[in-house]
């Protein structure tokens, strides 16, 4: 039975063919970074960001740390998914409820088209890191909702359809600092306000897969396939020189996504280039978004490099799934 990928066919997708010498499931764009640290007048760095198809092109929500080192999220627009115009000012949200307290910071956004809105989730500072939420219909007006969980929590990654009638999200309970631990959890909501059915999905591994031995966190919005939900996630190793963030993949059950079907022992991509190894935070390849075309099976993964810039990598979904299944480990 051939692989089936669920989703809308894209008329255009950023793409570069695999280099002849490449044997990995993913390969980097030869012109990385696609967004440098100074793409807006006051930006110190632009990295971990989200992208979705929009009209005849693409829209994005970009993490922009400014020269005061304030963390915020800005809108970006692109006709081809590679060349971006990023607003110099952060997104100004319209509150959906009265007296909604402002957040101390916003970073690491994810975006998904779901149930007639483009929903946004990000790490939201309110008495510590939590998961902020909002939506837009046109990438002009942005509405902000209540935080969906109490602190401390990070990496809110939504599913692109309801699960058994409920909205669903992956997240990582954490602490108030630079978390030294972290597992991936699953939760559901009937209305995007009240969340429950909290289920553990997977945690760290030991020496059998050391690149994900310190913590793991969901990355891009999961991709629905006949083999299960393909999840691109990050794993962290604590080295003698600090944290190393790499990118991996797993398969989750379609109707019970807290159940792991397969998980790759080996990383898909680790920080090895200068723009991944050198920057504000060295040795980081952090995925936050992907674009995929069900018709061709192609995937483009957007990831932050060294907490400084935005990059892309290319691959084939079927090859990534085969890579995960060929040497799979448990949760």
Residue 258 domain-assigned?
A: yes
Q: Is the peptide bond before 258 cis (omega within 30 degrees of 0)?
A: no
**Secondary structure element (H or E) that encloses residue 215, with its range:** strand 215-218
pTM listed for this prediction: 0.98
Q: How many domains does the chain have?
A: 1
Residue 23 domain-assigned?
A: no
Residue 40 domain-assigned?
A: yes
Which residues on neighbouring strands pair with residue 223, listed in sequence order? Answer: 230
Residue 15 domain-assigned?
A: no
Q: What is the pLDDT of residue 178?
A: 87
Residue 4 domain-assigned?
A: no
Q: Is the peptide bond before 152 cis (omega within 30 degrees of 0)?
A: yes
Sheet holding 71-78, edge to edge: 43-54, 57-66, 71-78, 85-86
- CA distances to 113, 293, 311 from 12, in Å: 18, 9, 18
Residue 181 domain-assigned?
A: yes
Domain that holds residue 95: 36-326
Assign residue 224 the CATH number of its domain.
Answer: 2.115.10.20
Q: What is the pLDDT of residue 213?
A: 98
Residue 6 domain-assigned?
A: no
Residue 21 domain-assigned?
A: no
Strand 93-95 relative to strand 142-145: parallel, antiparallel, unpaired?
parallel
Q: What is the pLDDT of residue 307?
A: 98
What is the C-alpha to C-alpha distance for residues 55 and 53, in angstroms, rounded to an integer? 7
Q: What is the pLDDT of residue 52?
A: 98
Mean pLDDT by 10 residues, the chain (331 residues): 87 93 96 98 98 96 98 98 98 92 95 96 96 98 96 97 97 94 97 96 97 98 98 98 97 98 98 98 98 96 98 98 97 93
């Amino acid at each position: 039975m051939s692989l089936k990928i669920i989703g809308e066919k894209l008329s255009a997708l950023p793409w570069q063919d695999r280099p002849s010498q490449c044997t990995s499931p993913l390969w980097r764009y030869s012109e990385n970074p696609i967004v440098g640290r100074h793409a807006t007048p006051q930006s110190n760095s632009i990295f971990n960001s989200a992208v979705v198809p929009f009209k005849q092109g693409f829209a994005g929500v970009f993490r922009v740390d400014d020269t005061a080192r304030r963390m915020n999220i800005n809108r970006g627009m692109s006709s081809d998914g590679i060349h971006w115009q990023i607003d110099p000012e952060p997104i100004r949200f319209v509150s959906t409820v009265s007296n909604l307290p402002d957040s101390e910071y916003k970073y690491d956004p994810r975006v998904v088209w779901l149930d007639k809105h483009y929903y946004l989730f990000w790490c939201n500072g309110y008495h510590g890191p939590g998961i902020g939420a909002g939506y837009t219909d046109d990438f002009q007006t942005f509405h902000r909702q209540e935080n969906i969980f109490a602190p401390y929590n990070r990496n809110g990654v939504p599913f692109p359809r309801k699960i058994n009638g409920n909205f669903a999200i992956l997240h990582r309970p954490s602490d108030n600092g630079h978390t030294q631990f972290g597992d991936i959890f699953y939760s559901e909501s009937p209305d995007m306000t009240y969340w429950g059915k909290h289920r553990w999905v997977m945690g760290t591994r030991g020496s059998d897969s050391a690149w994900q031995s310190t913590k793991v966190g969901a990355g891009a919005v999961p991709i629905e396939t006949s083999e299960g939900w393909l999840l691109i996630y990050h794993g962290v190793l604590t080295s003698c020189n600090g944290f190393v963030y790499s990118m991996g993949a797993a398969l989750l059950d379609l109707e019970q996504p807290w159940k792991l079907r397969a998980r790759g022992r080996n990383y898909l991509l680790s920080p090895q280039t200068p723009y991944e190894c050198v920057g504000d935070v060295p040795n980081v390849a952090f995925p936050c978004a992907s674009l995929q075309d069900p018709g061709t099976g192609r995937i483009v993964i957007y990831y932050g490099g060294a907490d400084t810039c935005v990059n892309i990598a290319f691959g084939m979904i079927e090859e990534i799934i085969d890579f995960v299944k060929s040497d799979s480990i448990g949760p």
